[in-house]
């Protein structure tokens, strides 16, 4: 973790320098009022004890009250300005994050776990933003105020001013550094146990039923307790230095006061300092430490923000998608030659795939579970980089085309596609923005969701959730198929549309898809409806085992025939 | 917000000792604050008015140094134990919340408040740390230093004490005001923030889908709009929250200023001596300091208290009473459901379900998706009480039975198999020969052949490293080797192709052959065909027929 990380992340917050400077000024003036209040009160009392004419004190009495009011008002303004600056920054960073990810290589997002994404976009961005209000600003205010107070004290009596400066450094630099180190120690030691704790707690809550019935809930709870104990041990390791830091902060105030007394009293005797000035020099330091008292927390905040910045930047630094060099519009046919499909950095799961897809043509891809059919679809849609072979749309290499041109021609509906936390209609409109309610009702009926729609409390305006708790597995799958169907693209790639359906409905749905006038690739493990396909591609062990019409394969490929017969026997 | 919720002390042992320590240190701090002010006043007063030298002041200054040293120690001690207490309290609450939520069962976890427990247990409770480390000590100081110092000021100069006494009651009044205004709003703010969070996350989680449709560019503006809306809402809350804070600060600072002016004027008239004046001047801000700190830490602490409050809500959700009778032996006992119905939002799923499960038979539950087949299984397993009807074993109501004594007799394969971390061999159990035989039947042998370490392959939590279909085979093998009389299979053929389906059929036959009772949810006719009895599940909810 380099020092530049936080700086880069803060730059991404795109803070308004004028607003930030204003917050800094207001903060310094607010705490400055507190220091001035202490100094003027000390002067007032010491001078008053010499019983001068009351008129000589009138300026001081007014000033004391003015500082008393100024402090509160200025502090209020500073807090409003600084929070506004920080919140603006967080929105900026979140938007940038979204936009960068939208333009990143498509496989980047497919790799980040959902929970991790939540943490980074949510809490981590907040933590980076917090550095403004809780880190940078207090540090800036403390520095400005400390310098100002020391200079003012030096004007009265330089040794007392220097003693104050030393104590301010102790409280404002040394103590925060120790506190930050303590926090780092804890954090580093706690990382693993915190991860264990999270995983165990999540596992327990996600799979409560199976764990209870399996008799494992007890042992998992014990594991949770154990990871929490390790977490506590890590905290203890950091608590010692944290205590030292807190003690130092307290000690600095006392030493500054003692220092002023010890240097000031002889100076009065020597005539270098008036008695009234001595009172000011001794009593002012008590107020000067208010700004530094916030700094240990600020140092810890800086550190937390830096750690969060590392995680946020890792997302931001995802390799960007290569810019399009070919401005041709994406048009069928989609032609794949000798395609090798697989996740970047891993061995290909499918090799030697050749495919020609154009409107009016339907292809079914079948094969045992786990043969990489989904990966193949993502590659055909240009969403995963292919590992070998060529892939063209109307003769243009898909890699060189604009991503939107490709998406306009080929749309893939994978089984893990996202159901957004919005209405049914809006979920369908993801594929086509101008979809009318009537069209939506029609397409839902086509995929067999007519009755489901009737049963929804608000019909098309019913809000469905991303957590799939509001829709069953089968409903969700068909909703995704419906979404692929409303897409204006001329080529559709659909992944296992019939999962969770009874055989009759499953076959009807697959048949309907294969008969769609557009170009369609359907991945399925049901063989019975494949007579409707123009071509069936049988995958096995990462390559094309056989291809041809359903009738051809049934006649010539024993494995295919066996599987089909077994399916019919089972039904 | 209650400053110190007694439930916290009741539920978290670590919190009790800490509160006691903090109280003791609070009293000590009050004494030290007073001592420091009096000693400083004496030294400074003598130096200013009488021109006392260092030699004369030496004893006072030494005592002052001692007080400074002790205050340093007290502060350090407080800090040392605050972190520890916070971590332990959070851990205690977390364990209790998770244990209680698990005991409340999967249905509770999936509905209403349930899903938020995950966030509460993993992150929400951490908000208690600032409450313990920062807020609570200041609260105690407000109860010790503030009245203690005030009494001393009263003894020194009753007029100054009078000013302070007039202002002090205003402080809690404004604190309550702050509390009133912010509590509702901070809860609203939390809700708004969570909503924003989920909406932004929803967009990000759906980004691959948006990209697949070439529509990823538009929502960028939406992320910004959501962020701006959130900022405006938050600033609205803060303007009011900070306003109360400002009035509080104005009152306290201004009253200190008034005390200073009052002392000054009386010093001029000779009604007061300088030492008393300095002591009161130094002490006056100390009266308000803890109160102000309480105000400063209030927001951070409020989150912690809100999180703790939610934890107590979970802990106070009554558990269904657990039965005490030991379950009859399922090798000979018959489990049955009579007219079972479970109410859900759309109606009853299932409705009027009768099911008899004689030992050694295979019974299939069929019906369209969403009709309540999985729910029926949860009723059979005792994880869910039926709203209507009765679940019983040999005439004994399931509610009266100690459920763990049922569960030890059951193997349950849910739709998504839950595998322990460990090697496949450890997971599956049994000796080498029986393992191999079972694996041959469930097709796990083919999976093992592709794994370099075979049986010794280590799986992560949840079976990470295997595909869903492969996990299913591991789970089936476990089921086969477990010696439980009852086997419950929820859609065992999902995620499997025809060859995989054959494996399930073979497994079910083997289970029946071994004399075990099987209850399964089946979509496919092949599975239905192996069953001795088929129960069609119905519901009153609008589902797909």
pLDDT in tens, A426-451: 899 988 888 999 999 999 998 888 88
pLDDT at A252 over 70: yes
Confidence check on the interface: ipTM exceeds 0.95, yes or no: no
Q: What are the beta bridge partners of residue A431?
A: none
As a whole number of Å, the end-to-end CA separation of chain A is 59
Rounded distance, CA A290 to CA A218, Å?
A: 50
**CA–CA distances in Å: residue A365 to residues A184, A455, A538, B111:** 53, 34, 6, 38
If DSSP codes are grouped into helix, strand and coil, which group holds residue B317? coil
Backbone phi and psi for residue A157, each to the nearest 5 degrees, phi listed first = -155, 100
Q: Is residue B490 a contact partner of residue B351, using CB atoms and an 8 Å limit?
A: no
Q: How many CB atoms lie within 10 A of CB A346?
A: 9
Q: Is residue A99 a contact partner of residue B211, using CB atoms and an 8 Å limit?
A: no
Predicted confidence band of residue A570 (pLDDT cuts 50, 70, 90): low
Q: Residue holding tokens 């962020």?
A: B227
Which of A239, A452, A454 lies nearest to residue B84, judging by beta carbons? A239
Cα dihedral B24→B29→B35→B39 (10° resolution): 150
Is B239 in Cβ contact with A500 (below 8 Å)? no
Rounded distance, CA A301 to CA A132, Å?
A: 10
Rounded distance, CA B447 to CA B467, Å?
A: 10
Helix B432-442 × helix B468-481 angle, to 10°? 130
- Most A CBs within 10 A among B43, B57, B212, B232, hence the mutation to make, goes to B212
pLDDT at A107 over 80: no
Which of B40, B224, B542 lies nearest to residue A454, judging by beta carbons? B542
pLDDT at B542 over 50: no
Which range has the worst mean pLDDT, A152-166, A250-264, A456-470, B514-528?
A: A456-470
Rounded distance, CA A221 to CA A200, Å?
A: 8
Cis amide prior to B350 (ω within 30 degrees): yes
Cα dihedral B292→B298→B299→B303 (10° resolution): 170
Rounded distance, CA B39 to CA B275, Å?
A: 9
User: In the prediction, which pLDDT does B202 show?
Assistant: 78
Q: Is residue A282 a contact partner of residue A267, using CB atoms and an 8 Å limit?
A: no
List the catalytic residue out of B129, B286, B378, B491. Answer: B491
Q: Which of A496, A482, A349, A479 has its CA nearest to residue A414?
A: A496
Tell me whether residue A190 is exposed, middle or buried, using C-beta atoms within 10 angstroms of its C-beta: 0 to 12, 13 to 18, 19 or more: buried
Q: What are the beta bridge partners of residue B519?
A: B363, B488
Q: The tokens of B331 are what?
A: 């090798």
Write the DSSP string, A371-435. Answer: SSHHHHHHHHTTSS--SEEEEEETTEEGGGB-HHHHHHHEEEE-TTPPPPSSBHHHHHHTT-TT-
- Most A CBs within 10 A among B186, B238, B264, B265, hence the mutation to make, goes to B264
Most confident listed range (A148-152, A211-215, A318-322) = A148-152
Higher pLDDT, B65 or B239: B65
Rounded distance, CA B237 to CA B198, Å?
A: 21
Which of A67, A117, A208 lies nearest to residue B201, judging by beta carbons? A117
Rounded distance, CA B495 to CA A127, Å?
A: 41
Which of B48, B223, B404 lies nearest to residue A95, judging by beta carbons? B223
Q: Is residue A480 a contact partner of residue A419, using CB atoms and an 8 Å limit?
A: yes
Q: Is residue A329 a contact partner of residue A393, using CB atoms and an 8 Å limit?
A: no
Phi-psi region of B113 (alpha: psi -120 to 50; beta: other; left: phi over 0): alpha
Helices assigned H by DSSP within A112-157: 114-119, 125-131, 137-156
Contacting residues of B for A67, CB less than 8 Å apart: 253, 257
Is B81 in Cβ contact with A239 (below 8 Å)? yes
Q: What is the pLDDT of residues A531-568, one digit of tens each?
A: 899 999 988 777 888 899 999 988 888 878 877 887 77
User: In the prediction, which pLDDT does A47 show?
Assistant: 92
User: In the prediction, which pLDDT does B358 show?
Assistant: 92
pLDDT at B345 over 70: no
Q: Is residue A4 a contact partner of residue A78, using CB atoms and an 8 Å limit?
A: no
- Most A CBs within 10 A among B120, B497, B534, hence the mutation to make, goes to B497
Rounded distance, CA B401 to CA A334, Å?
A: 63
Phi-psi region of B362 (alpha: psi -120 to 50; beta: other; left: phi over 0): beta
pLDDT at B184 over 80: no
B486 membership: H or E segment, kind and range:
strand B486-490
Tell me whether residue A271 is exposed, middle or buried, using C-beta atoms within 10 angstroms of its C-beta: 0 to 12, 13 to 18, 19 or more: exposed
Q: Which of B60, B351, B287, B513 has its CA nearest to residue A262?
A: B60
Is B526 in Cβ contact with A570 (below 8 Å)? yes
Q: Which of B526, B506, B501, B435 has its CA nearest to residue B474?
A: B435
Higher pLDDT, B189 or A266: A266
Active site residue B491: yes
Rounded distance, CA A166 to CA A3, Å?
A: 27
Helices assigned H by DSSP within A49-136: 58-103, 106-111, 114-119, 125-131
Contacting residues of A for B61, CB less than 8 Å apart: 258, 261-262
Q: What is the pLDDT of residues A115-133, one digit of tens each?
A: 667 677 777 888 888 888 8
Backbone phi and psi for residue A517, each to the nearest 5 degrees, phi listed first = -65, -15
Rounded distance, CA B512 to CA B487, Å?
A: 10
Higher pLDDT, B123 or A341: A341
Distance to chain B for A7, nearest Cα, Å: 22
Predicted confidence band of residue A404 (pLDDT cuts 50, 70, 90): confident
Q: Give me the mean pLDDT over the A386-396 stretch.
A: 89
Q: Which of B3, B25, B22 has its CA nearest to residue B14?
A: B22
Rounded distance, CA B189 to CA B436, Å?
A: 58
Rounded distance, CA B293 to CA B139, Å?
A: 8
Q: What are the beta bridge partners of residue A341?
A: A350
Cα dihedral A402→B209→B197→A100 (10° resolution): -20
Q: Give me the mean pLDDT over the A483-493 stretch.
A: 91
Backbone phi and psi for residue B353, each to the nearest 5 degrees, phi listed first = -90, 125
User: In the prediction, which pLDDT does B190 show?
Assistant: 62
Is A41 in Cβ contact with B253 (below 8 Å)? no
Q: Residue holding tokens 């609203």?
A: B188
Q: The tokens of A158 are what?
A: 């330089």
pLDDT at B498 over 70: no
Q: Which of A285, A335, A307 has its CA nearest to residue A153?
A: A285
Rounded distance, CA B31 to CA A213, Å?
A: 59
Q: The tokens of B466 are what?
A: 């295997």
Q: Is residue A144 a contact partner of residue A24, using CB atoms and an 8 Å limit?
A: yes
Q: Which of A366, A374, A361 has its CA nearest to residue A333?
A: A361
Query: What would you measure as the largest C-alpha separation in chain B, in angstroms?
Result: 109
Is B91 in Cβ contact with A475 (below 8 Å)? no
Which residues are within 8 A (CB) of B14 and not within 5 positions of it... i.e. 6 or more apart?
A: B84, B85, B88, B89, B91, B92
Distance to chain A for B22, nearest Cα, Å: 14
How much is the pTM?
A: 0.74
Rounded distance, CA A262 to CA A129, Å?
A: 44
**Taken in order A511, A512, A517, A519, is the CA torsion positive or negative?**
negative
Helix B136-156 × helix B158-167 angle, to 10°? 150
Rounded distance, CA A336 to CA B486, Å?
A: 51
Tell me whether residue A110 is exposed, middle or buried, using C-beta atoms within 10 angstroms of its C-beta: 0 to 12, 13 to 18, 19 or more: middle
Predicted confidence band of residue A1 (pLDDT cuts 50, 70, 90): very low
**Taken in order A402, A404, A406, A409, is the CA torsion positive or negative?**
negative
pLDDT at B245 over 50: yes
Q: The tokens of B399 are what?
A: 């509610």
Contacting residues of A for B295, CB less than 8 Å apart: none
Chain CA centroid to CA B532, Å: 46
Is B469 in Cβ contact with A121 (below 8 Å)? no
User: In the prediction, which pLDDT does B186 show?
Assistant: 63
How many helices and strands, by DSSP H and E, does chain A display? 23, 10
Q: Is residue A257 a contact partner of residue B40, using CB atoms and an 8 Å limit?
A: yes
Q: What is the pLDDT of residues A452-464, one digit of tens each?
A: 888 888 888 888 8
If DSSP codes are grouped into helix, strand and coil, which group holds residue A447? coil
If DSSP codes are grouped into helix, strand and coil, which group holds residue A562? helix
Higher pLDDT, A121 or A274: A274
Helices assigned H by DSSP within B206-218: 207-212
Q: What percent of chain A clears pLDDT 90, i.e. is strictly above it?
A: 34
Helix A137-156 × helix A295-316 angle, to 10°? 150
Distance to chain B for A306, nearest Cα, Å: 19
Helix A275-283 × helix B274-316 angle, to 10°? 10
């Amino acid at each position: 973790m380099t020092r530049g990380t936080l700086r880069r992340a803060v730059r991404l917050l795109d803070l308004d320098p004028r607003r930030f400077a204003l917050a800094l000024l207001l903060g310094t003036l607010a705490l400055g009022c507190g220091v001035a209040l202490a100094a003027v009160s000390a002067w007032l009392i010491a001078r008053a004890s010499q019983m001068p004419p009351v008129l000589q004190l009138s300026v001081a009495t007014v000033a004391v009250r003015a500082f008393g009011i100024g402090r509160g008002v200025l502090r209020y303004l500073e807090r409003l300005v600084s929070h506004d600056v920080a919140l603006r920054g967080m929105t900026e960073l979140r938007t940038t994050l979204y936009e960068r990810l939208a333009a990143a290589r498509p496989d980047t997002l497919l790799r980040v776990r959902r929970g991790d994404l939540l943490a980074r976009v949510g809490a981590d961005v907040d933590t980076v933003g917090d550095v403004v209000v809780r880190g940078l600003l207090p540090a800036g205010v403390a520095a400005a105020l400390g310098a100002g107070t020391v200079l003012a004290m030096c004007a009265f009596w330089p040794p007392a001013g220097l003693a104050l400066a030393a104590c301010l450094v102790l409280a404002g630099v040394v103590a925060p550094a120790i506190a930050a180190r303590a926090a780092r120690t804890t954090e580093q030691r706690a990382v693993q146990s915190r991860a264990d704790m999270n995983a165990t707690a999540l596992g327990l809550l996600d799979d409560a039923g199976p764990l209870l019935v399996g008799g494992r809930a007890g042992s998992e709870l014990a594991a949770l307790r154990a990871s929490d104990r390790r977490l506590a041990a890590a905290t203890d390791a950091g608590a010692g230095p944290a205590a030292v830091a807190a003690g130092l902060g307290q000690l600095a105030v006392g030493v500054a006061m003692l220092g002023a007394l010890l240097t000031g009293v002889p100076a009065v005797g020597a005539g270098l300092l008036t008695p009234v000035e001595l009172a000011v020099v001794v009593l002012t330091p008590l107020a000067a430490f208010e700004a530094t008292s916030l700094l240990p927390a600020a140092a810890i905040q800086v550190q937390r923000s830096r750690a969060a910045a590392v995680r946020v930047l890792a997302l931001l630094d995802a390799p960007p998608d290569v810019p399009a060099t070919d401005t041709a519009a994406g048009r069928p046919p989609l032609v794949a030659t000798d395609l090798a499909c697989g996740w970047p950095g891993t061995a290909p799961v499918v090799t030697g795939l050749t495919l020609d897809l154009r409107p009016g043509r339907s292809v079914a891809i079948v094969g045992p579970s786990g043969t990489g059919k989904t990966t193949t679809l993502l590659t055909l849609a240009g969403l995963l980089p292919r590992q070998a072979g060529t892939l063209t749309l109307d003769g243009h290499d898909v890699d060189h085309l604009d991503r939107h041109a490709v998406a306009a021609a080929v749309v893939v509906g994978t089984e893990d596609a996202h159901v957004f936390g919005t209405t049914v209609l809006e979920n369908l409109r993801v594929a086509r923005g101008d979809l009318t309610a009537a069209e939506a009702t029609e397409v839902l009926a086509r995929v067999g969701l007519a009755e489901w729609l009737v049963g929804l409390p608000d019909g098309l305006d019913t809000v469905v959730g991303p957590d799939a708790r509001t829709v069953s597995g089968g409903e969700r799958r068909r909703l995704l198929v419906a979404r692929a169907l409303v897409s204006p693209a001329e080529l559709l790639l659909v992944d296992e549309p019939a999962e969770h359906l009874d055989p009759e409905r499953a076959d009807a749905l697959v048949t309907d898809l294969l008969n769609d006038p557009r170009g369609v690739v359907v991945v399925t493990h049901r063989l019975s409806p494949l007579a409707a396909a123009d071509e069936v591609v049988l995958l096995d062990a990462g390559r094309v085992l056989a291809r041809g019409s359903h009738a051809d394969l049934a006649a010539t490929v024993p494995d295919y025939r066996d599987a089909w017969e077994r399916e019919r026997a089972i039904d | 917000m209650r400053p110190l919720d007694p439930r916290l002390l009741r539920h978290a042992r670590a919190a009790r000792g800490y509160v006691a320590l903090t109280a003791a240190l609070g009293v000590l701090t009050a004494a030290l604050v007073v001592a420091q002010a009096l000693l400083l006043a004496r030294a400074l007063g003598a130096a200013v008015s009488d021109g006392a030298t260092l030699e004369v002041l030496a004893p006072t200054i030494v005592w002052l140094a001692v007080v400074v040293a002790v205050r340093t120690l007290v502060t350090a001690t407080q800090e040392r134990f605050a972190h520890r207490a916070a971590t332990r309290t959070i851990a205690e609450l977390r364990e209790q919340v998770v244990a209680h939520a698990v005991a409340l069962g999967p249905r509770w976890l999936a509905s209403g408040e349930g899903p938020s427990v995950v966030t509460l247990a993993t992150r929400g409770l951490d908000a208690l740390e600032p409450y313990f480390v920062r807020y609570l000590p200041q609260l105690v100081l407000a109860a010790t230093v503030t009245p203690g110092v005030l009494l001393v000021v009263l003894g020194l100069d009753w007029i100054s004490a009078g000013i302070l006494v007039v202002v002090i009651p205003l402080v809690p009044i404004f604190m309550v005001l702050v509390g009133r205004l912010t509590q509702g709003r901070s809860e609203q703010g939390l809700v708004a923030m969570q909503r924003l969070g989920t909406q932004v996350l929803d967009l990000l989680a759906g980004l691959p889908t948006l990209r697949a449709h070439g529509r990823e560019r538009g929502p960028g503006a939406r992320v910004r709009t959501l962020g701006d809306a959130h900022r405006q809402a938050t600033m609205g809350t803060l303007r009011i929250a900070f306003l109360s804070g400002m009035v509080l600060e104005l009152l306290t600072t201004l009253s200190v200023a008034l005390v200073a002016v009052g002392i000054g004027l009386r010093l001029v008239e000779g009604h007061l001596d300088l030492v008393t004046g300095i002591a009161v001047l130094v002490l006056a801000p100390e009266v308000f300091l803890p109160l102000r700190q309480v105000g400063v830490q209030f927001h951070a602490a409020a989150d912690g208290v809100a999180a703790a409050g939610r934890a107590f809500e979970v802990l106070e959700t009554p558990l269904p009473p657990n039965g005490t009778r030991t379950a009859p032996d399922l090798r000979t006992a018959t489990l049955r459901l009579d007219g079972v119905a479970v109410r859900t939002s759309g109606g009853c799923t299932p409705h009027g379900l009768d099911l008899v499960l004689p030992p050694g038979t295979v019974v299939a539950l069929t019906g369209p998706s969403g009709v309540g087949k999985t729910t029926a299984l949860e009723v059979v397993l005792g994880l869910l009480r039926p709203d209507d009807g009765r679940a019983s074993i040999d005439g004994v109501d399931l509610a009266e039975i100690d459920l763990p004594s049922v569960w030890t007799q059951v193997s349950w394969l849910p739709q998504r198999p839950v595998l322990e971390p460990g090697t496949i061999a450890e997971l599956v159990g049994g000796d080498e020969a029986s393992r191999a035989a079972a694996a041959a039947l469930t097709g796990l042998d083919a999976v093992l052949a592709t794994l370099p370490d075979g049986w010794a392959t280590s799986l992560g939590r949840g079976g990470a490293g295997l595909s869903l279909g492969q996990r299913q085979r591991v789970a089936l093998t476990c089921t086969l080797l477990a010696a439980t009389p009852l086997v419950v299979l929820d859609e065992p053929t999902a995620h499997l192709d025809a060859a995989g389906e054959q494996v399930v059929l073979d497994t079910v036959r083997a289970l029946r052959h071994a004399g075990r009772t099987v209850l399964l949810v089946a979509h496919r006719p092949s599975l239905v065909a192996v069953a001795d009895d088929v129960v069609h599940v119905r519901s009153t909810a609008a589902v797909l027929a």
